[in-house]
Amino acid sequence: MELPRQKQILLFYCVEAEDLARKVAAQSDCIQLQSINWRSFPDGFPNLFINNAKDIRGHHVAFLAAFSSPCVIFEQLSVIFALPRLFVASFTLVLPFFPTGSFERMEEEGDVATAFTMARILSNIPISRGGPTSIVIYDIHALQERFYFGDQVLPCFETGIPLLKQRLHELPDADNVSVAFPDDGAWKRFYKQLQHFPMVVCTKVREGDKRIVRLKEGSAVGRHVVIVDDLVQSGGTLIECMKVLFAHGASKVSAYVTHGVFPNKSWERFTHNNKEDSEKSFTYFWITDSCPRTVKAIEGKAPFEVLSLAGSIADALQI
């Protein structure tokens, strides 16, 4: 059976995602980078211009976004809503990190589910000549959020776990690796993709105002244990989980998260020259380049390593 011909993709990108966009384009001759003039009026509102707008007619177009803060979302949404209306053959939005995903819970009347709000906004992206917009998102925080999107768009949910699996197989002690989950939520999300590794499951319990991490099942004795989760903010849970694993006999502890958010430079807690209370530190801390600001901040700083989503994004653009 003859393989389908690959699409030629014109890839636009926001300022923050330029490095990742260039890596994506380097993956395939079918991906060509395009540019946007990201300017502002004196009052601070965006003054944007899509270069070569007439030349993109009839082409498959994609936009690589990075919603790193509320102040950059509006200008990117303006472009995202404009591109499909330029008579393009199809439009794909790549939003590696869906940033409001950890704020979807409503525990009492008055709480605002901002993840739902963001999904509703993105669900109103105009259709292109080829039909609804495709939205590519990696490891969305809560799986039920896939149902927040309306029928006007086609969400495509991807994962960074294959990158982790490849890296683990490259380790000198690959045959001694176990995978740990900091809570039941992480286990439910990822265990099926990591079943060939021995597993350790931790749990978080409340003691007064504190959340205490405890080992729930599995053995860490003598193992290189890799904690796996979808994202990290302050990193407190990962550090507590690391301490529990060392206390239960782990020889090494590393960590992987798809999204290294790290607000307020909280990544500094994990660098090897800033060990907390002389505790053992992480051997490796893997993140992807879904959060470009973090990638630049941790460059060259142990124990961090970046596993690039570029190849995965290039493949997703051909779906």
Q: Per-residue pLDDT tens for 66-91?
A: 999 999 999 999 999 999 999 999 99
Q: What is the pLDDT of residue 253?
A: 98
What tokens were used for 82? 């404009």
Contact 34, 319 (CB under 8 A): no
Q: Per-residue pLDDT tens for 22-71?
A: 999 999 999 999 999 999 999 999 999 999 999 999 999 999 999 999 99
Bond into 96 cis (ω within 30): no
Taking residues 196-219, what's their average pLDDT? 88
Q: How far apart are CA 227 and CA 235, in angstroms?
A: 12
What tokens were used for 71? 């102040």
Residue with structure tokens 């270069």?
A: 51
Amino acid 311 reads G
Res. 278: pLDDT tops 60: no
Residue 103, number of CB atoms within 10 A of its CB = 17
Provide the whole-model pTM.
0.93
Taking residues 187-216, what's their average pLDDT? 89
Res. 277: pLDDT tops 50: no
Q: Per-residue pLDDT tens for 153-178?
A: 999 999 999 999 999 999 999 999 99
Share of the chain above pLDDT 90, in %: 84
Helices (H) and strands (E) in the chain, counts: 8, 15
Residue 102, number of CB atoms within 10 A of its CB = 16
Residue with structure tokens 């997703």?
A: 316
Q: How far apart are CA 256 and CA 163, in angstroms?
A: 10
Question: How much is the mean pLDDT over the chain?
Answer: 93
Report which DSSP code applies to 132.
Answer: S
Residue 17 CB contacts under 8 Å (≥ 6 apart), including other chains: 64, 65, 66, 292
3-state DSSP helix/strand/coil % of the chain, to nearest 5? 35, 30, 40
